Each structure stands twice: as structure tokens, then as C-alpha cells.
Amino acid sequence: MQIVVRLDVMLALRKMRSRELAEHVGITEQNISLLKSGKVKGIRFETLARICEALDCQPGDLFEAVEDAGDQSAGSAR
């Protein structure tokens, strides 16, 4: 299973630019870009809370768990 970042979708729905979000959250626009692309290994809860506050959303609106092609078999052991 992998986690897909949907930050770009929320930005579009809220008609907000990455630069505006970065200013509100207090991080660089480059870090917003890295987060949008899914190239980060983690995020601080404080940063996540600020992003959710700025976008008026819940953390679940920003992330989605997606099954990998190999994980789709019903009988796979974990």
C-alpha cells in the first residue's frame, strides 16, 4: 500500500496558490512543492494542522491510501 498526496487537488478546490499556502503555513514554497509531489518521507503534525487550517480541510482530505498492484489479491498475507 502507498500513500498518495492530494494537496494539489485541495489547492485547486480552494483556489489557492502554493505560495499563499506556504506563507500561511510558514514553510517554503519549495517544501510545499515537495509535499505535493510526494517526495517527502514525513510531515510534522504541527505543519499538517496549519495546512488543514489554511485549506479548511481534514488530514484525510490531503492523503489517500492506494493499494499497490501486488497487494490487490484477497488472500495476501500481511
Domain limits at 34? 2-71
Is 7 part of a structural domain of the chain? yes
pLDDT score of 78: 46
Residue 76 counted as domain residue: no
Buried/exposed code over 7-16 (b: 16+ C-beta within 10 A; e: otherwise): beebbeeeee
Nearest to 10 by CA among 48, 49, 61: 61
Q: Identify whether the C-beta of residue 55 lies closer than 8 Å to the C-beta of residue 21.
A: yes
Query: Which stretches within the chain are classed as H helix?
Result: 7-13, 18-25, 29-37, 45-55, 59-62
| Count of domains for the chain | 1
More confident residue, 15 or 74: 15
Assigned domain for 78 exists: no
Is the torsion defined by CA of 18, 33, 12, 24 positive or negative? negative
pLDDT at 71: 61
58 domain residue, yes or no:
yes
